[in-house]
Amino acid sequence: MTSASERGREKLGRGIRLRSLFSLAFGTIIGVGWIIVMGAWLSGAGAVGAIIAFTIGGLVMLAIGLCYAEMAAAYPVTGGEVAYVFEAWGARWSFAAAWFLGFIYIFTTSYEAISVEWLVSALIPDFGGPVIYTLLGQEVRLWSLALGLAVMAAITIINYRGGKTAAWFQDVMTAGLIILTAIFVVAGLAGGSVANLEPMFTGETPSAALAGVAVVLATAAFWYAGFDTIPQAMEEVEEGAKLRLLPRVIGASIVFALIFYCLVILATAMSMSRPELLASELPAAAAIEAAFDSPLLGRIVLFAGLCGLITTWNALFFAGTRIIFAMARAHMIPHRLAKVHDRYGSPSAAVLFVAVMGAVGTLFGRNAILVIVGAGSISAALVFLVVVLGVIRLRKTKPDHPRPYRVPGGRAFLYLSAALALALAGVATWEPFRAAGRIPPEWMVLGVWAALGLAFYRAAAPLRKAVSDEKLRWLILSDDDSTE
């Protein structure tokens, strides 16, 4: 039999366990945002308002996550959304969804590269070094930039060596994140005061409080994005894995993340009065340090943040390479990006592409963080909506396709999930415009990314036209060496 690679369908090496899929998803969801932008959550919605926003966002994501579980179990191939949306809506929609998902994965690695300096500067005062340029109104310093690029290089090497190595590294870092954060939460709840939760909401009227909750909820898709990294690894899961357990893995990653967010918000808010918190550059670390007069506990929070930062960075880098690889394999972008390393079984060309693009984003400095969050929230919510609608469509058009898992609740639950995803997409898209009063930078950034994607899509057009519809479907959906 002719191998898949000889016939034009590159395949990645296997060896990732279901346990590592949880680490991949949970570690991606949590990250370092709870330390870096905690002040924005508390100022935007108040402590209780932020908890309500994250609870609503988590429940919406749980519904969407179960839809992903049905798709991932039915189509266990690299690229996840590339396959799901292609099967439901065709090649163009598949490319659009995958390209904007790629934006989230790639430029969140830039977010992490910028954030790592923020944490290290808190651990090592005056770490940044001399100013080398100013961009977006923010000074970019030599050692800060060098650190971000150095860690990017390390994660590139880990992922270049294959999915199994990246998954092992993810397991270790996720364990560190959970242990260190548990210390912070216990200390914050035990030593804090409920009186510090006041004011619980932003504003003095119900409408103002609701608006504050909406501000934080608008970014929920970004803060919960991460369970969708699981589909990117499905083709590399070890032989014999029990795919029927997949919904439990996805659901557990979202539920544990919801609990995590609520606990760290509560522990931070109880540890110090709101004015003092908002005056701190990193409120979570400052709160626990002040509550116990213990620089050590503050450093534990920062080290927990570093673990979370690395888990998100590694997982999103991994997912970004797989989405780029899947698009290249399907001739949606230049096929050279589908090259697989002979020894490691990794998508080596895609790894280098993601590394370069992520490094470019790192050059923009701290003021790029909120733009990345806003643009990523819009992209994630829209992709989630397309996938949920795809589940509904495939239930009708391909009712006999094997589904190791089906979303419970029938059509009613699916339509509810679609409505929730639509609402989330609407809030994520409208909120930046409402806040800016003009075309926001988030829209501009996504416009530039769309233009770049269109250029890539057109560059790959000759290869795409030379492939039959049946061959294209095989390139995207087949997980063995036989065509349908």
Task: Name 305's Cβ contacts closer than 8 Å, sequence gap at least 6.
Answer: 32, 34, 35, 36, 119, 284, 285
DSSP letters of 183-241? HHHHHHHHH--GGGG-S-SSSSSHHHHHHHHHHHHTTHHHHHTTGGGTGGGGGGBPTT-
CATH number of the domain that 99 lies in?
1.20.1740.10
pLDDT at 119: 79
pLDDT at 482: 35
Percent of the chain residues past pLDDT 70, beyond the cut? 95
Give pLDDT tens digits for 443-465.
999 999 999 999 999 999 998 88
Please state, in angstroms and rounded to a whole number, the distance separating the CA atoms of residues 291 and 297: 10
Domain count, the chain: 1
Give pLDDT tens digits for 376-407.
989 989 999 999 999 999 999 999 998 888 88
Look at 128 and 108; give whichever has higher pLDDT.
108
Where do we find the tokens 């096929």?
335
User: What H or E segment, with its residue span, contains residue 138?
Assistant: strand 138-141
Give pLDDT tens digits for 47-72.
999 999 999 999 998 999 999 888 88
Tell me, yes or no, whether 1 lies in a domain: no
pLDDT at 178: 87
**Cα distances (angstroms) measured from residue 430 to each of 225, 416, 437:** 19, 21, 10
pLDDT exceeds cutoff 80 at 484: no
Give pLDDT tens digits for 221-254.
888 888 888 888 777 877 666 667 788 889 999 9
Give pLDDT tens digits for 317-331.
988 999 999 999 999
pLDDT at 443: 95
pLDDT, mean of residues 212-221: 87
Tell me, yes or no, whether 221 lies in a domain: yes
Tell me, yes or no, whether 11 lies in a domain: no
pLDDT exceeds cutoff 50 at 1: no
Tell me, yes or no, whether 229 lies in a domain: yes
Please state, in angstroms and rounded to a whole number, the distance separating the CA atoms of residues 411 and 346: 39
Nearest residue to 188 via CA among 111, 304, 287, 102: 287
pLDDT at 20: 84
Write the burial class of residue 294 (CB in 10 Å: 0-12 exposed, 13-18 middle, 19+ buried): middle
Look at 272 and 291; give whichever has higher pLDDT.
272
For residues 17 and 164, the answer to whether their CB atoms sit within 8 Å is: no
| Host domain of residue 382 | 18-477
Give the range with max mean pLDDT: 37-46, 85-94, 132-141.
85-94
Q: What is the band of 92 on the pLDDT scale with cuts at 50, 70, 90?
A: very high
Of the listed ranges 76-80, 83-87, 103-107, 291-295, the least confidently predicted one is 291-295
Nearest residue to 215 via CA among 417, 48, 59, 427: 427
Look at 8 and 367; give whichever has higher pLDDT.
367
Please state, in angstroms and rounded to a whole number, the distance separating the CA atoms of residues 100 and 194: 42
What is the average pLDDT value for the chain, to the nearest integer? 86
Tell me, yes or no, whether 483 lies in a domain: no
For residues 228 and 31, the answer to whether their CB atoms sit within 8 Å is: no
Q: What is the band of 3 on the pLDDT scale with cuts at 50, 70, 90?
A: very low
pLDDT at 325: 93
pLDDT exceeds cutoff 80 at 361: yes
pLDDT exceeds cutoff 80 at 136: no
pLDDT, mean of residues 131-149: 86
Tell me, yes or no, whether 484 lies in a domain: no
Task: Name 264's Cβ contacts closer than 8 Å, sequence gap at least 6.
Answer: 34, 38, 181, 184, 185, 188, 284
Q: Which runs of E-coded beta strand occur in 291-370?
A: none
Look at 120 and 457; give whichever has higher pLDDT.
457
Tell me, yes or no, whether 372 lies in a domain: yes
Give the range with max mean pLDDT: 64-73, 288-297, 429-438, 439-448.
439-448
Packing angle between helix 18-30 and helix 163-191, nearest 10 degrees? 50
Does residue 199 have a cis bond before it (omega within 30 degrees)? Answer: yes
pLDDT at 204: 80
pLDDT exceeds cutoff 50 at 6: no
Nearest residue to 138 via CA among 478, 370, 365: 365
Produce one character per residue of 313-351: b if its CB has 16 or more CB atoms within 10 Å, e if not: bbbbbbbbbbbbbbbbbbbbbbbebbbbbeebbbbbbbb
pLDDT exceeds cutoff 70 at 483: no
